[in-house]
Amino acid sequence: MVSTTHEDSTTGPATGTATAAAAVDRAKAEGRAALVAYLPVGYPDVRTSIEAAKAAVDGGADVVELGLPYSDPTMDGVTIQRAVDAALAGGTRPADVLRAVEGVAATGAAVLVMTYWPPVDRYGVDRFARDLASAGGAGLITPDLIPDEAGAWIGASDAQDLERVFLVAPSSTDARLALTAERSRGFVYAASLMGITGARATVGAGARQLVERTRAAGAERVCVGLGVSTPEQATEVAGYADGVIVGSAFVSRLLDTDDTASGVRAVGRLAAELSAGIRSA
């Protein structure tokens, strides 16, 4: 299912793989922040989730995070839980995620896989890294893998030249910010607040300070996520971060409709609105 577009799959990603770092840098060159859109693979079905991700790219997303559904998503609120439960009930498997990566990467967008660690651990870290690279994926975002536990993944991602996005939180000490900045590749994901995913009325007040602290700790690119859902919030975050990460709001567009075509269109519209919000910052 996963095509190998380069001769030796052990030496690195498919030639021409778009990286999140390059996407963020390109946005920066245009004088704006990047838009990072999250969607879980398999909701409402694998094909539609791929179409929705492509619609987000058409609408202006610079980077796509494809979620690998997991049975115990402790960092997620009810919106993403609902979509992920349905994706699993529909039989979504890691091979589907790799297929989706390939499909979305074909648009030229940078594609990261957002995954809890147990499925990757089970798949085999080296094997997952190889298959992700072959599919044209840029790397992984790992919400429950901290850099000090990530020896196996750091080795595998170095070998495959993949990006590894670790998270920082308002509670992170300066020493941990430095550790995370040093071991991340691509960008550092700053959680805007202490909590789980889900839309919120306001972006965490500590987000700006966390971005500043993370930069001071050595991070080249810092994107902000958790609770960012409206164009106004995107404008606000784009004022101080290198990227704006939006998840639950996209997922809601798919959850709130019975008709997949209009759900996909709504995802594209939201991306366009967020993108406009970012450009107005």
Partner 1 sequence: MTAYDEPTVDVPAGEVPVSFGPTPLAGERGPYFGAFGGRFVPEALVAALDEIDAAHRSAMSDPAFVEELAELHRTYSGRPSIITEVPRFAAHAGGARILLKREDLNHTGSHKINNVLGQALLTKRMGKKRVIAETGAGQHGVATATAAALMGLECVVYMGEEDTRRQALNVARMRLLGATVVPVTAGSRTLKDAVNEAFRDWVASVDTTHYVFGTVAGPHPFPVLVRDYQRIIGVEAREQVQQLIGRLPDAVCACVGGGSNAIGIFHAFLEDADVRLFGFEAGGDGVETGRHASSITGGSPGVFQGARSFVLQDEDGQTVESHSISAGLDYPGVGPEHSWLGDSGRATYRPVTDSEAMDAFKLLCRTEGIIPAIESAHALHGALGVARELGPDAVVLVNLSGRGDKDVDTAARWFDLVSDEDLVASEVERVSDAPEDTEGSGW
Among 145, 241, 244, 249, binds partner 1 (CB under 8 A): 145
3-class DSSP assignment, residue 167? strand
Give the separation between CA 124 and CA 131, rounded to whole angstroms.
Answer: 10
Is 114 a binding residue for partner 1 by CB under 8 A? The answer is: no
Among 4, 11, 71, 280, binds partner 1 (CB under 8 A): 71
Least separation in angstroms between residue 44's CB and partner 1 is 19
Give the angle subtended at the CA of 121 by the CAs of 70 and 117, to the nearest 5°.
45
- Which distant-in-sequence residues (6+ apart) come within 8 Å of 270 by Cβ? 56, 59, 246, 249, 250, 253
Nearer to partner 1, 167 or 251 (CB): 167
Is 173 a binding residue for partner 1 by CB under 8 A? The answer is: yes
Is 75 a binding residue for partner 1 by CB under 8 A? The answer is: yes
Residues within window 86-105 making contact with partner 1, judged by CB under 8 A: 88, 93-94
Q: What is the DSSP letter of 201?
A: S
Among 151, 202, 261, 269, binds partner 1 (CB under 8 A): 151
Least separation in angstroms between residue 228's CB and partner 1 is 16
Give the separation between CA 251 and CA 259, rounded to whole angstroms.
Answer: 14
| Residues 92, 126 contacting (CB under 8 angstroms) | no
Q: What is the DSSP letter of 230?
A: S
Give the angle subtended at the CA of 155 by the CAs of 71 and 224, to the nearest 5°.
55
Number of residues that bind partner 1 (CB under 8 A): 49
Is 30 a binding residue for partner 1 by CB under 8 A? The answer is: no
Is 59 a binding residue for partner 1 by CB under 8 A? The answer is: no
- Give the catalytic positions in this structure: 65, 76
Count Cβ atoms below 10 Å from residue 158 Cβ, excluding itself: 12
| Residues 140, 107 contacting (CB under 8 angstroms) | no
Question: Segment contacting partner 1 (CB under 8 A): 68-76, 236-244, 254-262, 268-276?
Answer: 68-76
Is 202 a binding residue for partner 1 by CB under 8 A? The answer is: no
Written as one letter, the residue type at 40 is P
State the residues that interact with partner 1 by CB under 8 A.
70-75, 77, 81, 85, 88, 93-94, 117-123, 143-146, 148-152, 154-156, 158, 166-173, 175-176, 179-180, 191, 193-196
